[in-house]
Structure 1
Amino acid sequence: MPATTTPTSPLHTWWSQRPPAAGAAVMATGIISVALHQTGYETLSRIALALASAAWLVLGGDFTARLLRDRPSWVEEAATPAALTAIAATTVLGTRFAALGWETLAEALLALAAVLWPALLLAVARHWRRGMPGSVFLGCVATQGLAVLGATLAATEKAAWLAHAALALFWLGLVLYVIALACFDRREIAHGAGDHWVAGGALAISALAGSKLLAADGPGLYLWNRDDEGVLRTVTVAVLVLDLAWYAVLLLAECAWPRPRYDVRRWATVFPMGMTSAATLSVASAADIAWLETPGEVLLWVAVAAWLAVTAGAVRSYTGGTAPEGPGDPGTDITSTTRR
């Protein structure tokens, strides 16, 4: 008898071709929810959180299905930088849930991310080399995501050990950033399809982690002495300044070399934009630099506008409004190293 094939829906086909972009989409939507909460737009924040949570559940289902049905392919994909978006997305959602007071759920997400992190990071790091796209910075992003969520929960749970673990991850994340920077292909600034923005986003989440560590100190914990706090504050502010510098460079590059065509890797542009806003707002509070609140909110609405534009592009791509991307097109994968 001839083999029968299982029919698949257009949505399933579209999703199965874009798991890396799905992870970046959760990261982008989740951090915009965090920034909207920081600025008091709670209703919009919860809508964004609901969207990010739904996408995370679908992403988790796809992750599990691939593991059970096609383990060799799953292992191969786990060695790509895209795998680290699962960790980053999980920690971003956990941070937002912690802000809602849902500590148990946030702790479960932290535990899940912490279990996946070492194996995935080691598998990905073995393939680092010179000439990598912006996805090489996801090692730093995933590590700092754990630091952000750990420091957030340390403050709410009064757990000093968790704060110290988060501090170790913070410093490790900065080391991973330096390594990634050495591997990053600078030509991506002019010709990257979107994920080159993670070069700045990794610094943004590092600044956010530093601000959360500063905020975790207080009555009942006494985490850092005056010298330690001074060093942490100086490094956090310096990292934020470097992030803002990257933001300016990348924005100018977008103007100098316009890339208006929709690409799934543009979700990896929205995430750094939203993360820069969240980091600026958080540093403003933790480091007592009140004037940063205004630029932080301005950056938030820039990120929201970018999110809407990329969402519109994704909808047009799904409904057939744009040309489909073939397997060889660099737009199909956030981890692609193919040059245009």
Structure 2
Amino acid sequence: MESKKTSATPEAKRPKPSAPGRAVSQDIIARGIKELNPAYFALVMSTGIVSIAAHYQGFENIALTLLGINAVAYMILWAMYIARIVWFTQRFREDFRDHMLGMGFFTAVAASGVLGSQTLLLTGRFPVAAVLWCVTVALWLCLIYGLFTGLITKEEKPSIAQGINGGWLLAIVATQAVTVLSTALAPFFQLYREPVLFLAFITWLFGGMLYIWVIALIFYRYLFFHFSPQDLTPPYWINMGAVAITTLGGTGLIANASASPFMLELTPFLKGLTLFFWATATWWIPMLIILGVWRHGFRRFPLRYSPLFWGAVFPLGMYTACTHRLAEVTQAPMIAVIPKGFVYVAMTAWLATFFGMVHGIVAGLYKTK
């Protein structure tokens, strides 16, 4: 009897030490899902466009590695977002109708579109890209009307100083992600090429108009309200990224113009407006660098990882990709040199932000323990 008790004791005690460990792990996962930033799909946006930029500059191995990382990140984030909707429905609803957080949901649209473009460009897998195109268009329609309706009909609204930031431009990024993927897929649709190109054209125009509306409010907030280092969050880089992806959408329309009589007649208009958007994106870069130096250099604001930093990586990769494509379709060799150097800036920013994310996750786990 004693030997049985002795042998049974270790077995009985084994689950007990692991039970708190499981509870802690579950608590970490639950808290991570509950507090998941709505804009975290910017990770996929950034990784996808840096991969495309690397591909354009001949870094094929880097481009394919980033594609693998992106596919995994996309699936993990969808699992987390769905779990958040199911388990923390009220928190999800609050974020959806929040002026500062709600626009972050547009990253899911842009991420789907960028991943579709990345997949098609690097692997040629049209079925996968077509599915992602359907997801992109469906999500865009739901969010562009759902989010804006929710904010318009909201009872209590913040002032412009408290309710708007660069994250609002994610609505434009999402809209132009529809344009970019549509122009990439149009040649594969054959009989439906013309309607797909027309969809790309109208979303491109609407995205450009939406940029003018939103950037006017942001610029007004910049100039006529108190501006502290805390206000200059990384999503302000989307001031540039939104017009950079609009430029990329324009290059796709120009590249497809010869296949459409309607688009062919508009080629001069497409080229002129696309160059207009590229010039606007270019103007923003020195301005944002100056403001960044003011924030971290003069005002000593700490440089710590935040999911919002992916919103700063994306514009760097997008500017590289759009400038490369613009040089191709407009035959403007004087700008072709820019992406050759800018791609290193984009890849370095991605690497630094990725390591910051990993360090933050690991540090959070140790802190919990």
Report the TM-score, using the length of structure 2 for normalisation.
0.80
Letter in 1 for 2:271: R
Letter in 1 for 2:280: L
- Distance in 1, matches of 2:293 and 2:124, equals 41
- Aligned counterpart in structure 1 of residue 263 of structure 2, from 208, 213, 224: 224
Q: Summarize the alignment of residues 107-256 of structure 1 with structure 2, pairs less than 5 Å apart.
A: 107-126=130-149, 127=151, 130-131=160-161, 132-158=164-190, 159-184=193-218, 185-186=221-222, 187=227, 191-218=231-258, 220-226=259-265, 228-256=266-294
- Distance in 2, matches of 1:265 and 1:300, equals 21
CA RMSD of superposed structures (Å): 2.5
Deviation of 1:71 (Å): 3.5
Distance change (3 Å), C-alpha of 1:136 and 1:323: farther
* Number of residue pairs aligned between Structure 1 and Structure 2: 319
Q: Any stretches of 5+ residues in structure 2 without a counterpart?
A: 1-19, 153-158
Question: More helix per residue: 1 or 2?
Answer: 2
Question: Cα deviation per residue 1:158-215 (whole Å; 9 max; x = unaligned)?
Answer: 4111001100000000111112113323247884121111111100010000001111
- Aligned counterpart in structure 2 of residue 289 of structure 1, from 328, 332, 339: 332
- Distance in 2, matches of 1:12 and 1:41, equals 38
Distance change (3 Å), C-alpha of 1:234 and 1:92: same
3-state DSSP of counterpart to 1:253: helix
Deviation of 1:119 (Å): 2.0
Distance change (3 Å), C-alpha of 1:299 and 1:15: farther
- Note if 1:95 corresponds to 2:117: yes
Name the larger-Rg structure: 2
Distance change (3 Å), C-alpha of 1:317 and 1:15: farther
Q: Percent identity?
A: 25
Distance change (3 Å), C-alpha of 1:272 and 1:161: same
Contact 2:106/2:174 (CA < 8 Å) preserved in 1?
A: yes
Deviation of 1:25 (Å): 1.0
- Distance in 2, matches of 1:267 and 1:322, equals 21
Deviation of 1:85 (Å): 0.4
Deviation of 1:76 (Å): 3.4
Q: Counterpart in 1 of 2:57?
A: 39
Distance change (3 Å), C-alpha of 1:223 and 1:245: same
Letter in 1 for 2:204: F
Contact 2:33/2:80 (CA < 8 Å) preserved in 1?
A: no
Q: Counterpart in 2 of 1:67?
A: 85
Deviation of 1:138 (Å): 0.8
Question: Cα deviation per residue 1:217-275 (whole Å; 9 max; x = unaligned)?
Answer: 23x4444234x100110000110011011112101221232253333211110011111
Distance change (3 Å), C-alpha of 1:321 and 1:272: same
3-state DSSP of counterpart to 2:25: coil
Distance change (3 Å), C-alpha of 1:189 and 1:157: farther
Distance change (3 Å), C-alpha of 1:21 and 1:114: closer
- Distance in 2, matches of 1:66 and 1:172, equals 31
Q: Summarize the alignment of residues 245-284 of structure 1 with structure 2, pairs less than 5 Å apart.
A: 245-258=283-296, 259=301, 260-284=303-327
Deviation of 1:7 (Å): 4.4
Deviation of 1:286 (Å): 1.5
Q: Summarize the alignment of residues 8-19 of structure 1 with structure 2, pairs less than 5 Å apart.
A: 8=25, 10=28, 13-14=31-32, 16-19=34-37
- Distance in 2, matches of 1:19 and 1:115, equals 22
Question: Cα deviation per residue 1:79-103 (whole Å; 9 max; x = unaligned)?
Answer: 4111110000000001111212111
- Distance in 1, matches of 2:45 and 2:359, equals 21
Deviation of 1:13 (Å): 4.3
- Distance in 1, matches of 2:312 and 2:274, equals 22
Contact 2:241/2:319 (CA < 8 Å) preserved in 1?
A: yes
Contact 2:204/2:246 (CA < 8 Å) preserved in 1?
A: yes
Deviation of 1:290 (Å): 2.5
Question: Cα deviation per residue 1:26-62 (whole Å; 9 max; x = unaligned)?
Answer: 1111110111111121111011111111111111112
- Distance in 1, matches of 2:240 and 2:72, equals 27
